[in-house]
Chain A
Amino acid sequence: AVVYCMPVSEVTAQDESFAETYLKKFFNLTEESGPSVRRGISPVSKKLSEMQKFFGLQITGTLDSDTLAVMKKPRCGVPDGTVAR
């Protein structure tokens, strides 16, 4: 049998916390409630998709290494997209 070692990127709990802070700061993530939550789309996933769309990343709604890498780049402190408005 051939075993493929899939390099699973480690997204740690710390990364998730960092990502949540990032989304709050730049994509107006709030402790949402309402229809989207009831439909099972977590606010974080929704905001992650928004962020991935803005930065031209693959839109998965989940935190992956590419998304995390963009979050960790030095940047301007003004929120992005419609949030800034």
Chain B
Amino acid sequence: FSTFENNLKWQKNSLTYRIENYTPDMSMSEVDDSIEKALQVWAKVTPLRFTRLYSGTADIMISFGGRAHGDHYPFDGPGSTLAHAFSPGPGIGGDAHFDEDETFTLRSRKGFVLFMVAAHEFGHSLGLSHSDDRSALMYPVYTYKNPDTFVLPQDDVKGIQSLYGPNPVKNPFVAEPQPPPTPDACDSTIVLDAVTTLQGEMLFFKDSFFWRSTPSSRTPQQSLITNLWPKAPVSIDAAYESQQPGKIFLFKRQHVWAFTGSDLVPGYPKSLTSVGLPRGVKNIDAALYDVDSGKTLFFVGNSYFSYDDARKTMDNGFPKRLDQTFSGLPGKVTAAFQYRGFTYLYSGPHMFEYNLKTGRLYRVLRNNYFLHC
């Protein structure tokens, strides 16, 4: 085996990938499966884990293109060069390009098995260059192998483990619990974990991911929460932006984290009592900061609390039942935020638009209304 200059490698084990486009030679699901399987070849023998993104920039961007396709290395039509990939690094680093003029297949010999070509290219994306071992996956010349019985040759195992070490899971060939599927913002049944503004952007949280939507961008950008806030929890309960612009609070079970930029504010995480909530509250469902009144609303089950940020105390008369203020809500609030003077409460697969002062309900919208699906 061989590696690139200075043993170039990723400095993290959680990597993201995104399939930017598809080849017409195979169905989309066949391409998805081939790519996923090709990445798992390397995950099985290292601590590396791969998560798929459906928008935004991933570490490994995967695309099909013919001839000149946007980098300085044009493809050459059918035959000869099948694909290429770039060694680990920012920008184009890690990306894999497949020559659209080739015929890619799921497992047939008539054409090139995408799984085999992709597994080889991802070796480059992770830091391996070519091997002169004829039996190695990283041998530069394509060799047909049945993807259903493929086992990574020892030369490649030694190569990739020289960079990342072995898989800490003892028996990697026992199916590991697969990471939950990447949530799809445009799934109409999606129930978001939390929503907040952040300096004019809107952030929508689900599981380990969040989407950020700016007034200018058409499609929201999907990222891993820990890419932006390395010390943040995932699958959070609630989030809100405080009156101090750029300061965001994330809630999960009995704790709250505060971030300015990507940095965790010293002293955090704290317990929920630090924002005035009674000790008996084990978790909250949603939170929002009301710009007009300077109050922070915490939604817990069928009630909500009003916290005065300035006086650092809970307002009298709270908690109140939701239906004392918000008409039309079918159940508990799962996410909440304010935008351009309106208050948006998510409950189940719908978002309810209110005027907080009057409690008047204006519109009932789908959860992904702001996600431009």
**Which A residues have a C-beta under 8 Å from some C-beta of B?**
25-26, 54-56, 70, 72-78, 80-81, 84-85
CB of B134 closer than 8 Å to a CB of A:
yes
Kindly list chain A residues whose C-beta atoms are within 8 Å of the C-beta of B79: 74
Stretch at the interface among B12-20, B124-132, B217-225: B124-132
Kindly list chain B residues whose C-beta atoms are within 8 Å of the C-beta of A85: 2, 4-5, 129
6 smallest CB-CB distances across A and B, nearest first, come from: A77-B84, A84-B129, A77-B81, A85-B5, A74-B142, A73-B141
Query: A78 to B130, Cβ gap below 8 A?
Result: yes
> Which listed residue, A55, A56, A74, A80, touches B80 by the CB 8 Å rule?
A74
Kindly list chain B residues whose C-beta atoms are within 8 Å of the C-beta of A73: 141-142
CB-nearest residue of chain B relative to A80? B130
Query: A76 to B134, Cβ gap below 8 A?
Result: no
Distance in Å: Cβ of A18 to nearest Cβ of chain B: 9
Interface residues on B, range: 20 to 34
CB of B52 closer than 8 Å to a CB of A:
no
Contacts A81-B2, A84-B2, A85-B4 given: A74-B141 contact, CB under 8 Å?
Answer: yes
Complex: how many Å from CA A63 to CA B34? Answer: 37
Complex: how many Å from CA A59 to CA B117? Answer: 28
Kindly list chain A residues whose C-beta atoms are within 8 Å of the C-beta of B84: 76-78
Kindly list chain A residues whose C-beta atoms are within 8 Å of the C-beta of B73: 77
CB of B39 closer than 8 Å to a CB of A:
no
Contacts A26-B140, A81-B2, A84-B129 given: A76-B80 contact, CB under 8 Å?
Answer: no
Query: B124 to A78, Cβ gap below 8 A?
Result: yes
> Which listed residue, B4, B5, B83, B132, touches A76 by the CB 8 Å rule?
B83
CB of B290 closer than 8 Å to a CB of A:
no
Kindly list chain B residues whose C-beta atoms are within 8 Å of the C-beta of A78: 84-85, 124, 129-130, 140
Complex: how many Å from CA A72 to CA B5? Answer: 28
CB of B205 closer than 8 Å to a CB of A:
no
Kindly list chain A residues whose C-beta atoms are within 8 Å of the C-beta of B204: none
What are some 13 contacts across the A-B interface (CB < 8 A)?
A: A54-B132, A70-B141, A74-B80, A74-B141, A74-B142, A76-B83, A76-B121, A76-B130, A77-B81, A77-B82, A78-B130, A84-B4, A85-B4
Complex: how many Å from CA A76 to CA B117? Answer: 8
Distance in Å: Cβ of B124 to nearest Cβ of chain A: 5
Complex: how many Å from CA A76 to CA B142? Answer: 7
Query: A74 to B82, Cβ gap below 8 A?
Result: yes
Interface centre among B75, B80, B87, B124 (most CB of A within 10 A): B80
Main secondary structure of the interface of B (DSSP, over half): mixed
CB-nearest residue of chain A relative to B120? A76
Distance in Å: Cβ of A17 to nearest Cβ of chain B: 14
Complex: how many Å from CA A55 to CA B79? Answer: 19
Distance in Å: Cβ of B64 to nearest Cβ of chain A: 14
Kindly list chain A residues whose C-beta atoms are within 8 Å of the C-beta of B124: 76, 78
Query: B81 to A56, Cβ gap below 8 A?
Result: no
Kindly list chain B residues whose C-beta atoms are within 8 Å of the C-beta of A80: 129-130, 140
CB of B354 closer than 8 Å to a CB of A:
no
Complex: how many Å from CA A46 to CA B130? Answer: 20
Complex: how many Å from CA A84 to CA B138? Answer: 13
Kindly list chain A residues whose C-beta atoms are within 8 Å of the C-beta of B112: 74
Complex: how many Å from CA A84 to CA B141? Answer: 15
CB-nearest residue of chain B relative to A71? B80
Query: B82 to A84, Cβ gap below 8 A?
Result: no
Distance in Å: Cβ of A63 to nearest Cβ of chain B: 17
Kindly list chain A residues whose C-beta atoms are within 8 Å of the C-beta of B121: 76
Contacts A76-B81, A77-B75, A78-B84 given: A84-B132 contact, CB under 8 Å?
Answer: no
Near A by CB (< 8 A), chain B positions 78-95 give 79-85, 87
> Which listed residue, A26, A56, A75, A84, touches B134 by the CB 8 Å rule?
A56
Kindly list chain A residues whose C-beta atoms are within 8 Å of the C-beta of B87: 84
Query: B5 to A75, Cβ gap below 8 A?
Result: no
Kindly list chain A residues whose C-beta atoms are within 8 Å of the C-beta of B102: 74
Identify 15 new A-B residue pairs, CB closer than 8 A, beyond the known A70-B141, A75-B141, A76-B142: A26-B140, A55-B132, A73-B142, A74-B80, A74-B81, A75-B80, A75-B140, A76-B83, A76-B124, A77-B81, A78-B129, A80-B129, A80-B130, A81-B129, A85-B4
Query: A75 to B85, Cβ gap below 8 A?
Result: no
